[in-house]
Every structure is written in C-alpha cells, then in structure tokens.
Amino acid sequence: MNETPVSHARLTFALIIVAFFMDTIDASIVQVALPTIRNAFGASIADSQWAFGAYAIPLAGFTMLMGRAGDVYGQKEIFIAGLAVFVVASFSGGLAPSLLSLVISRLIQGIGAAMTTVTAFAILIGLYPEGPRRNKALGYITAVLSGGFAAGAVAGGVLTTFLGWRSVMFVNVPIGIVTALLCARYLPGGKGWLQNQHLDIPGALTVTSGMILLVYGLTNAANPTLGFGSAWTTVPLLVSAGVLGAFLLVESRSKGPLMPLGFIRGGSVLNANALALVLTSIIGGVGIIITYYYQYVLGYSPLYAALFVLPPALILFFVGGWGASRFVNRFRARRSLIFSFALLAIGVLMLTPISAQGSYLTTVPGLLVWAIGASIGFPAVNIAAVAGTKHGEEGLASGVVNTSFRMGFPVGLALLLTVANVFDPAPTGIVAGFQAALLAGALLGVLGFFIALRLKDVKPSWNQGANPAPQ
C-alpha cells in the first residue's frame, strides 16, 4: 500500500467523510419524501416502499464484494467508479417518469453507494493505525452519519415541500461531481493490496446473489400486503439460505477465498458483526415506526416530522463524534457496548406508551436515551469489528461489518413492521401495532446486551508498549 502523504491525510479523510455523508443523506432524504412520491405516482404504500427498498438491496448485497474488490484491484479505483455510478443514477432518478423507473435508478444508486462506502471505510482503516486516533476518526464517522441523517431528513422535508420530490434526487449530483474530481486528483492511488490475487468469482456470485435474495425477501416481509406468509417472501428467503450455504462451501474450498472463514471466526469479529446487525435493526426499525407514527397517526407534515428527528440526531452528532471515542478509549469496546445496548433497550421501552392522542413531546425522553445508546454503539461496534485487522484485510473487514450494518435495516423493518401489521389497521390498531413493534425493538436491545456480554475484548495494541500514532 502506498502511504498517504501527511499533507494530504486530512483531505483524504474529508473525502471519505463526504462519501459517508452522501450515502446517509440519500437514505433519509428519500424516506421523508416517500408519502409525496406515493401521491405523485398514485402508488400504494407497499409499492412506494420500493423507492427505499431498491436502494437498500444492492447496498447490502454488493458491499462484501466491493470491499474485497478494492483489496484486489485498488480502493481508489472502485471508490471513484462508485461515485460516477451514484451521480448518474441520482440524475436519472430525478427525471424518472414513473415509479418503476425511479426504483431502477434507486437500485443503481445502491450499487454505487456500496462501492463508495465500503472502500471509503477501508481507506480509513489504512489511513489510521489501530489505537486512539482510529477510534477518534470512527467517532467522527458516527457524527457524519448522524449529521447526514438529520440533514437528509430536514433537507427532504424542505425540498419536498418547496421544490418537489425530484429535487431530493438532483441534490446529489453536484456534490458527487465535485467529490469525484477531488478524489481523482488527491486520493492516494496504487495497486490493490493483495498482489497477484484474483477476485474469487464463485464466492462473489454466491454471496452477492444470496444477500440480494435475502434482503428482497425481508423487504417483502415488511410489506403489509405480503408479510412472512407470502410466497414472495418465503421463496427468496429459502433460496437465499441455500445460496449462502453454497457460499460457505465455496469459501471453505477456495485457495483465494473472498471471505476466509478463519477471519470471521477470529477475535471479536463474529460477535461484533452480530452486534452490528442488531444495532441497525433497532435503529432502522424504530426510526421507521416513529416516522410513521408522526405522519400517519399524529398527522404531522413531512417537514415537521423531519425537524422532530433533530434532537436525537444532534446527540448522535456530538456524543458520537466527540464523546464516544473517549468513552471507548477509557472503558474499551466490550463495556461500551454493554452500556450502549442497555440504553437502547431502555430508550425504546420508554417509547411504547405512544397513543393516538399523544404528541411529539411524549416521544422526546425515549428518543434521547435511544440516541445516546446508539451514539456509543456505532463507533464501539466498528472498533471491535476491525480490531486486529492485518494489512491486506482492510477491504474484507470493511465489507463484512458494512454488510452486517446494511443487513440490519431490512431485518429490523421486516421484524418490527410484521409485528405492527398483525394488528387491525384502524387508527387505534395502528397505534397498538406500533406499541407492540417498539416492544419488539426493546427486546432486540436486550438481545444485543447479552451478545455484548460474550464479546471478546481485544486488548488494544497502544496499551502493549506500542507507540501511539504520530499526532
């Protein structure tokens, strides 16, 4: 790997930040615009959800493949190509004449986002050695993710209200073009870090198709007109189980596997990725339930619903960006994650008393506790998942943990919305369903708490006599 010149280290980090920001803002900005998109195309709630789901499916399915492709062919090359794909798809989405064409554009956007975010994270791992500086950088990433979520929610409400839903797609174009030009000039290049090794094509095909089928099935499970009992859900889930089983068989016999099985079993990797899955299941599922509650039960506009997420987003921004890394440096990943999931479970439990006669203020205490737990959890999971990563495994570690994070959102949506859909769709039934879904979210927090208790706390290298990275 070519070392990043010190003079360009901050610029490189800033470009990585922009990539994460674009990915996050695009997810939340469309989420807020979904009701307007549904009305514009005369689509049902279930059909309009594909404007969100089509983005999430390739984002989860291609992440591991693109992470390893960066190790083999070069992180910079995959990163810039992903930006180009993302920009073109954003522009075509803004011009979409139908819901189907918008969904196709969102699908291509998801592929571009998978290429950029996973390679950006891999470049970050290589940029900062394991220790306090990397922990601090991961804290900044958490701040950017939360800032992007808040900015996307607010921008989605403002743009949709004053300029129409198409503007939420066009806003990515100028940001992406400028970022691609700067990356081409300043991002450190060089060949792939795994010299004389080709991409494991059988492994790539099986894991990508298996993950896509899995997310597709989970997305259908979250659809109120389908659910887990539909063939559109069960068949993709069963086929994905078979394909992913074939992936494990391929990897066990491959001389150059896409994901060496010894890597996932080593250290804290397996438990850390399980925690990443549970964490984003809680965040994604609860976030959607609360957004629906604000708009469909309390009748708030998209703009107000977007503004209401600002307090928890600010906590994620400041606590996650500046406080969480100090917390993890002092208490290490295991204790930090135990504390994080305890707060998540308590915060979601505090949301369960919502009612049709309630208001935004009744949700604030629970959301704040929930946000503090999440702000500590995100950097702590990332730190545990990449601890002990060897040179040449940056893309692999990034691909695995990002896949776990991405999978959590459709898993959380499927589980929580399935629980909510069991109840009568009358107004009181919707609230009762949301209450049951939030209770399920709290139980996920309890599950994460017990997984965190089993986490192997990797002894940090900077406490073993190694000199910290230069400041």
Tell me how far CA of residue 23 lies from CA of 87, 342, 433, in angstroms: 11, 28, 30
Q: Is-contact 427 297, C-beta < 8 A? A: yes
* Residue type (1 letter), 421: N
Tell me how far CA of residue 397 lies from CA of 29, 229, 290, in angstroms: 28, 35, 32
Q: DSSP string of 203-223?
A: HHHHHHHHHHHHHHHHHHHTS
Beta carbons within 8 Å of 275's beta carbon, 6+ residues apart = 337, 341, 377, 381, 384, 448, 451, 452, 455
Q: How many CB atoms lie within 10 A of CB 60?
A: 27
Nearest to 444 by CA among 375, 355, 341, 358: 341
Q: How many CB atoms lie within 10 A of CB 174?
A: 10
Radius of gyration of the chain (CA): 21
Q: Is-contact 183 328, C-beta < 8 A? A: no
Nearest to 150 by CA among 108, 413, 175, 142: 142
* Residue type (1 letter), 32: V
Token duo for residue 453: 């208790």
Q: Is-contact 293 27, C-beta < 8 A? A: no
Residue with tokens 């499916």: 57
Give the pLDDT score at 349.
96
Cα(204)–Cα(195) distance, rounded to whole angstroms? 18
Task: Identify the structural domains of the chain with CATH numbers, from first to last.
Answer: 8-187+198-457 (1.20.1250.20)
Query: Which stretches of the chain score pLDDT less than 50?
Result: 1-7, 193, 196, 460-471
Give the pLDDT score at 279.
93
Q: What is the pTM of this model?
A: 0.74
Residue 462 has what DSSP assignment?
A: G
Q: What is the pLDDT of residues 370-386, one digit of tens each?
A: 989 988 888 888 778 77
Cα(380)–Cα(332) distance, rounded to whole angstroms? 8
